[in-house]
């Protein structure tokens, strides 16, 4: 009989458990998806570098999962509090009929267990299928192939999910027992008759609070834009504090300010049930402005991390394309090599046992000459320099003191041929600028169009091209260099020697770099002087970029989705609780002749205001935040916000919109049930 009652109650109360069910199902799905990465990557052809990055990501995800479990645990407890409050009369009836508190606690726990078990099953099934898409996305970002695509079930992720959520439910059971033990019969039976007192703040308090909120927020926006998130100085700290204070003041003053503002427009105030809606909203926001402010800040974090985190991949991919013009680059810094500075690197490699003709389809060795021209001598404006260096003083000084480097025309044409690009023609007194440093392109183009001249060894050179030639010269380098006629660099010191090469078919890093390491590494036999100071390969750049992209994107998505679920669930539970408390008021409106359509519209508007206002302020915050974050992170690449914004809107529509609809229909069900019982 006891178990039949629990099962019957679970079926009957399914609408009340909707938010609880959604929260657990979403949480389980996310938890499984991101903790199953290890099993998903087993299908991929990963080299050692990529595999180690995946292992680092899995460790990061495991650490974040503890934080996620804590947040979801609080959410489940919060939802359980609503369920107990919602059923106080029913619990009072059980106690009246002689059921003990312990038995009532077991009954509620069993009901919750049945709903949680169903949510776990749905969440795991959804997680298993969605994790397959995650594995495809991971393979794409790592530019690797899936050995065989098949449905993968991660037993380890499943065990971890069941363990974490099992601990959560155990805590909820303890909380249930403690909550039921404190309930008094008289309070349970009269719970529905307790109404919240309507408090209206004085108008001057609301006006002053609203003005103070506007001042705090505008000041915070100005400070964070000036800081640019480049340092943790007083501007950054002040902007954070003022932003938080401004948000709290906004919602603190909103109830009275909004109510009085609408009251001044009689046509709007007395239209339909607007008066009732605004007073209901005013009553609730007075007591929940703190939680609504926190939810607004959580939504801000969600929007910023989703938009910026997703955009990392596309930005880094664009940067990577400019940094990988060849398969490998070997660099030799003249000051580090002493007597080797006049030695041909290819010949040195050959004498050490590395014949490039066996490994390279083509290669070219280039001297980089250091011109006497400093970047600070070029007509950069202060705005240009601030844009290039992100206003960091150390970088400004370094930028201004750096010399412009140059390569010869013949070296450039050989490099261009290796990349399949057009060769360059220069007259004896002409030069060109080449490079992929995006932030320097606009001012350099301006200089070239204005007729910039370079003085090298007493000779003036005019620009042959009015635009910067967008072409990478060295793997992993995005500098801006000059191209001069072959005889123009004579007399200028050689700063760096670089050997760039493309592999023959079948040659990979594992063969060529392994050979170099066997000769020049610390463990190599003998003491062979290295032919180069540093080495970097195209595959290394791609692997590192992919690792950064995957880690930043996945961590951002994981955290932001948890924050989104938390904020939406709290709003939903507060509104469901509000609907339960306001059932008598809606019943009175119904008795006064208000039709169902107007009541549903009033309910929809009230819940919509509660969901929409924190989201709107979070969007305003995020417009400033995203622009600053993107400027700080993506200054070396172009970031198209359209794609990530569309994905962010889609996620919000599914999750936030789903909670809103569940809240609206759940509230309608509560009001309908109350009406049927009266």
Q: Tell me how many domains the chain contains.
A: 2
* Residue 504 per-residue DSSP state: P
pLDDT in tens, 20-32: 788 888 888 888 8
Phi, psi of 435 (to 5 degrees): 160, 175
pLDDT at residue 432, as a whole number = 93
Q: Are residues 561 and 655 in contact, defined by beta-carbon separation less than 8 angstroms?
A: yes
What residues contact 271, with CB distance under 8 A and at least 6 apart? none
Please name which of 130, 150, 148, 171 lies closest in space to residue 34, comparing C-alpha atoms. 130
User: What does the block give as tokens for 39?
Assistant: 């099993």
Report the range of poorest mean pLDDT among 100-114, 309-323, 394-408: 309-323
- Per the structure, the complete domain to which residue 447 belongs is given by 353-527
* Residue 114 per-residue DSSP state: H
637 within domain boundaries: no
User: What does the block give as tokens for 648?
Assistant: 């962010």
Instruction: Provide mean pLDDT across the span 39-51.
Output: 65
Q: Are residues 136 and 152 in contact, defined by beta-carbon separation less than 8 angstroms?
A: no
pLDDT at residue 196, as a whole number = 47
- What are the DSSP calls for 529-542, one per residue? PPS-SEEEEHHHHH
- What are the DSSP calls for 242-297, one per residue? HHHHHHHHHHHHHHHHHHHHHHT-HHHHTSTTHHHHHHHHHHHHHHHHHHHHHHHH
**Separation CA 171–CA 601 (nearest Å):** 39
Q: Are residues 212 and 186 in contact, defined by beta-carbon separation less than 8 angstroms?
A: no
**Separation CA 50–CA 546 (nearest Å):** 8
User: Binning pLDDT at 50, 70 and 90, where does residue 391 land?
Assistant: low
User: Binning pLDDT at 50, 70 and 90, where does residue 305 land?
Assistant: confident
* Residue 44 per-residue DSSP state: B
Angle (nearest 5°) at CA 630 between 624 and 631 = 90
* H/E segment holding residue 443: helix 438-449
439-to-400, 402, 638 alpha-carbon distances in Å: 15, 16, 10
Last residue of a domain, one of 527, 554, 581: 527
pLDDT in tens, 60-105: 888 888 888 888 777 777 777 766 766 666 676 767 767 777 777 7
Q: Are residues 215 and 247 in contact, defined by beta-carbon separation less than 8 angstroms?
A: no
Query: Does the pLDDT of residue 193 top 90, yes or no?
Result: no
> Looking at per-residue confidence, does 491 or 263 come out higher?
491
Please name which of 253, 278, 248 lies closest in space to residue 264, comparing C-alpha atoms. 278
> Looking at per-residue confidence, does 512 or 552 come out higher?
512
Query: Does the pLDDT of residue 304 top 70, yes or no?
Result: yes
Report the range of poorest mean pLDDT among 3-7, 196-200, 267-271: 196-200
pLDDT at residue 44, as a whole number = 60
pLDDT at residue 188, as a whole number = 53
> How many helices (DSSP H) and strands (DSSP E) are in the chain?
24, 9
What residues contact 448, with CB distance under 8 A and at least 6 apart? 433, 463, 465, 466, 467, 468
What residues contact 640, with CB distance under 8 A and at least 6 apart? 311, 314
Q: End-to-end CA distance of the chain: give it in Å, rounded.
A: 29
Long-range pairs of 456-461 with CB within 8 A, sequence gap ≥ 24: 456/371, 456/372, 456/373, 456/406, 456/484, 456/488, 456/489, 456/492, 457/488, 457/490, 457/491, 457/492, 459/429, 459/488, 460/429, 461/429, 461/430, 461/431, 461/488
pLDDT at residue 195, as a whole number = 47
**Separation CA 433–CA 272 (nearest Å):** 69
User: What does the block give as tokens for 2?
Assistant: 């006891």
520 within domain boundaries: yes
The length of the chain in residues reads 678
Could you tell me which residues are beta bridge partners of residue 329? 500, 536
pLDDT at residue 503, as a whole number = 92
320 within domain boundaries: no
255 within domain boundaries: no
585 within domain boundaries: no
Q: Are residues 33 and 136 in contact, defined by beta-carbon separation less than 8 angstroms?
A: no
**Separation CA 21–CA 445 (nearest Å):** 58
Report the range of poorest mean pLDDT among 35-44, 61-70, 310-319, 494-503: 310-319
pLDDT at residue 216, as a whole number = 92
Average pLDDT, the chain: 78
- What are the DSSP calls for 54-89, one per residue? HHHHHHHHHHHHHHHHHHHHHHHHHHHHHHHHHTHH
Torsion from C-alpha of 425, 426, 428, 429, nearest 10 degrees: 160
* Residue 6: CB atoms within 10 Å: 19
Q: Are residues 297 and 242 in contact, defined by beta-carbon separation less than 8 angstroms?
A: no
Last residue of a domain, one of 147, 178, 194: 194
Last residue of a domain, one of 477, 494, 527: 527
483-to-339, 365, 374 alpha-carbon distances in Å: 27, 15, 16
**Separation CA 293–CA 123 (nearest Å):** 30
Q: Tell how far CA 324 is from the center of its chain.
A: 26
189 within domain boundaries: yes
**Separation CA 445–CA 310 (nearest Å):** 31
pLDDT in tens, 549-575: 777 778 888 888 888 888 888 888 878
Please name which of 223, 239, 234, 243 lies closest in space to residue 297, comparing C-alpha atoms. 243
562 within domain boundaries: no
**Separation CA 630–CA 390 (nearest Å):** 12
pLDDT in tens, 410-459: 999 999 999 888 899 998 889 999 988 777 888 999 999 988 899 988 88
User: What does the block give as tokens for 235?
Assistant: 């501007």
Angle (nearest 5°) at CA 396 between 394 and 398 = 70
pLDDT at residue 215, as a whole number = 92
Q: Are residues 213 and 254 in contact, defined by beta-carbon separation less than 8 angstroms?
A: no
Angle (nearest 5°) at CA 493 between 489 and 495 = 105
pLDDT in tens, 125-179: 888 888 877 777 777 766 666 555 567 788 888 888 888 888 877 887 777 777 7
442 within domain boundaries: yes
Rounded to 10 deg, the angle between the 641-677 and 596-633 helix axes is 150
Long-range pairs of 96-100 with CB within 8 A, sequence gap ≥ 24: 96/185, 96/189
Strand segments (E) across 509-592:
534-537
User: What does the block give as tokens for 133?
Assistant: 């898409």
Strand segments (E) across 452-557:
454-456, 459-463, 480-484, 494-503, 534-537
605-to-23, 383, 609, 663 alpha-carbon distances in Å: 24, 48, 6, 12
Long-range pairs of 57-65 with CB within 8 A, sequence gap ≥ 24: 57/547, 57/550, 57/551, 57/554, 60/551, 60/555, 61/34, 61/35, 61/37, 61/554, 61/555, 61/558, 62/35, 64/555, 64/558, 64/559, 65/31, 65/34, 65/35, 65/160, 65/164
């Amino acid at each position: 009989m006891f178990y039949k009652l629990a099962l019957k109650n679970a079926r009957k109360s399914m609408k009340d458990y909707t938010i609880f069910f959604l929260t657990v199902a979403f949480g389980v799905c996310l938890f499984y998806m991101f903790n199953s990465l290890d099993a998903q990557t087993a299908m991929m052809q990963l080299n050692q570098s990529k595999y180690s990055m995946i292992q680092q990501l899995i460790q990061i995800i495991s650490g974040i999962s503890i934080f996620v479990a804590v947040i979801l645990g609080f959410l489940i407890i919060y939802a359980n509090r609503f369920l107990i409050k919602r059923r106080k009369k029913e619990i009072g009836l059980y106690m009246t009929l002689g059921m003990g508190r312990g038995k009532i606690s077991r009954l509620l726990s069993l009901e919750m267990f049945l709903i949680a078990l169903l949510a776990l099953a749905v969440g795991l099934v959804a997680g298993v299928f969605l994790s397959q898409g995650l594995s495809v996305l991971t393979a794409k970002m790592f530019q690797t192939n899936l050995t065989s695509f098949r449905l993968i079930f991660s037993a380890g992720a499943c065990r971890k999910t069941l363990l974490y959520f099992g601990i959560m439910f155990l805590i909820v059971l303890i909380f249930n027992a403690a909550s039921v033990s404190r309930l008094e019969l008289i309070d349970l039976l009269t719970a529905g008759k307790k109404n919240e007192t309507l408090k209206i703040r004085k108008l001057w308090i609301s006006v002053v609070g609203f003005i103070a909120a506007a001042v705090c927020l505008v000041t915070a926006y100005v400070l964070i834009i000036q800081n640019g998130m480049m340092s943790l100085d007083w501007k950054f700290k002040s902007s954070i504090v003022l932003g938080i204070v401004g948000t709290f003041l906004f919602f603190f003053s909103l109830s009275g300010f909004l109510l009085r503002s609408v009251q001044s427009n009689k046509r709007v105030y007395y239209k339909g049930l607007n008066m009732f809606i605004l007073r209901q909203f005013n009553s609730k926001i007075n007591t929940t402005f703190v939680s609504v402010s926190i939810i607004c800040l959580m939504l801000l974090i969600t929007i910023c991390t989703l938009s910026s985190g997703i955009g990392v991949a596309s930005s880094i991919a664009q940067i990577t394309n400019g940094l990988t013009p060849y398969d490998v680059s070997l660099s030799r810094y003249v000051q580090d090599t002493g007597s080797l500075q006049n030695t041909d690197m290819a010949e040195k490699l050959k004498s050490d046992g590395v014949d490039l003709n066996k490994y390279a389809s083509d290669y070219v060795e280039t001297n980089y000459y250091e011109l006497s021209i400093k970047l600070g001598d070029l007509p950069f404006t202060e705005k240009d320099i601030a844009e290039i260096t992100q206003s960091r003083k150390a970088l400004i000084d370094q930028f201004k003191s750096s010399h412009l480097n140059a390569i010869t025309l013949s070296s450039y044409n050989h490099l261009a041929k290796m990349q399949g690009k057009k060769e360059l023609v220069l007259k004896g007194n002409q030069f060109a600028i080449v490079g992929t440093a995006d932030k320097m392109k606009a001012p350099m183009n301006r200089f070239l169009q204005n007729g910039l001249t370079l003085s090298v060894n007493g000779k003036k050179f005019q620009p042959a091209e009015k635009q910067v030639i967008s072409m990478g010269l060295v793997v992993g380098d995005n500098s801006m260099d000059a191209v001069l006629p072959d005889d123009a660099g004579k007399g200028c010191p050689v700063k760096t020697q670089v050997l760039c090469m493309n592999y023959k078919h079948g040659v990979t890093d594992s063969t060529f770099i392994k050979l170099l390491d066997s000769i020049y590494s610390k463990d190599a036999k003998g003491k062979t002087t290295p032919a180069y100071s540093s080495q970097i390969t195209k595959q290394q750049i791609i692997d590192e970029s992919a690792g950064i992209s995957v880690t930043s994107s996945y961590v951002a998505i994981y955290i932001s989705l948890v924050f989104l679920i938390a904020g939406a669930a709290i709003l939903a539970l507060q509104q469901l609780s509000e609907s339960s408390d306001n059932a008598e008021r809606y019943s009175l409106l119904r008795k006064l002749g208000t039709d169902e359509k107007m009541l549903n519209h009033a309910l929809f508007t009230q819940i919509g205001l509660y969901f929409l206002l924190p989201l709107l302020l979070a969007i305003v915050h995020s417009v400033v935040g995203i622009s600053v974050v993107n400027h700080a992170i993506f200054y070396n690449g172009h970031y198209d916000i359209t794609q990530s914004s569309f994905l962010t809107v889609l996620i919000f529509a599914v999750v936030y919109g789903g909670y809103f609809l569940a809240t609206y229909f759940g509230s309608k069900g509560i009001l309908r049930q109350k009406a049927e019982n009266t």
